Amino acid sequence: MQDVRDDPLKTVKKTPPRLRNTALVTNGFIESEKLYRGIFESGGIPTVVLIEDSTISYINPEFERIIGYVRDEVEGKKRWTEFIAPEDLERMCEYQRKRRIDPKVVPSRYEFRVIRWDGQVRNGILSITLIPGTGKTVISLLDITDRVLAEDAVQKANKKLNFFSSITRYFLEVMDRAEHREHVRQLIGLGPPNNGSALAELFHDPEQGATIINRLTGVFVPEGYDPKADTIVQDVRPGSRVMTELRTAGIRNDILYRVIVTANPEGIPGFFPLFSGKTRDMGDDGRYRLTLEGDGVVANRESILPGISLDIIPPGQDAAGQYPHPDLYCHINLPKNPAVIDHIMQYLTAVR
């Protein structure tokens, strides 16, 4: 019987179809540059091959289109890390380090951002495989930029709606306090900054503000964000006129207030990766601190209202017995969290 190692094509035929476009898996493995180039050239999936120091040894035409370079400008000349967004670089380098020790301890598929030649950022899902015995790595990319842009638009709208809760309270508790022209049965807040937002104040900090804004750009704030031009952020600063008048007015007795917040008691980094699962808070002494009692953007104590209990939902099972991803518990994603939706429906259908 002929040894399959003598015929690389037989090796590929024995490889499961789902692996052919992402890695070369062989029995005993004999590397054939001509062979893998042929597979990746016709595979239709953006693919890059790295050598051990992360230098790119091969890209296929689909990957050329993603990054905007031709292969002669990249192969043997650029490192993979040059195309990774700075916000993702540390995480991905740590994954790569651990992967070479034990591939099982890190995910083989995750989201990241890739930088094109013109500085444009594309979002992708990366699948990564080590080629046994070679020190080489095969990376395949699924471009999800259009989907992410659509989700970002929803998230930013949700962020504004959550912060807008304080503006709604201002109208009801300050402007309409005496006449009660607006009849409201329940007011449900999702992580509302009822006492002001440390993060909004931190945006203006001369030492930390620019760093925080840069970290949140593209996720919580837009490119080129100026907090001084954001009316809502100005209103939720702890010392703002709006916050002062709300504290003075107090809540209305004719409204049933519900406050839903989340927390991260187990310190799961994926809860809000940009802050390693923690939330910025401001102590009574005016100093900033990190806490697990918050949703990544608003600390729980910032949501407290006099005489109103917080409904705290930490990551865990929802009503259907499912475990939503931890990042669904961060402030940005609260409106689409199944556990949060369950609580809202209970409130709306309860008999008062």
In whole angstroms, give the CA distance from residue 115 to residue 26. Answer: 33
Report pTM.
0.55
Q: What pLDDT score was predicted for residue 264? A: 93
Predicted confidence (pLDDT) per residue in 158-190, tens digit: 555 455 566 678 888 888 888 888 888 888 899
What length is written for the chain? 352
Q: What values do phi and psi take at 40, rounded to 5?
A: -75, -30
Q: Which percentage of the chain shows pLDDT scores above 90?
A: 32
Q: What pLDDT score was predicted for residue 352? A: 52
Q: What pLDDT score was predicted for residue 321? A: 66
In whole angstroms, give the CA distance from residue 337 to residue 329. Answer: 7
Q: Would you say residue 4 has pLDDT above 80?
A: no
Q: What pLDDT score was predicted for residue 326? A: 85
350: Cβ contacts below 8 Å, ≥ 6 apart: none
33: Cβ contacts below 8 Å, ≥ 6 apart: 58
76: Cβ contacts below 8 Å, ≥ 6 apart: 55, 56, 57
Q: What pLDDT score was predicted for residue 9? A: 39
Out of 43-57, 63-77, 202-216, 286-300, which region has the weakest mean confidence (pLDDT)?
Answer: 43-57
Q: What pLDDT score was predicted for residue 128? A: 85
Tell me how far the alpha carbon of residue 344 is from its chain's centroid. Answer: 24
Q: Which CATH architecture has domain 4-143?
A: 2-Layer Sandwich (3.30)
Q: Are strands 109-115 and 121-131 parallel, antiparallel or unpaired?
A: antiparallel
Q: Would you say residue 77 has pLDDT above 90?
A: yes
Q: Would you say residue 242 has pLDDT above 60?
A: yes
* Cβ 344 vs Cβ 186: under 8 Å: no
Domain ranges of the chain: 4-143, 147-349
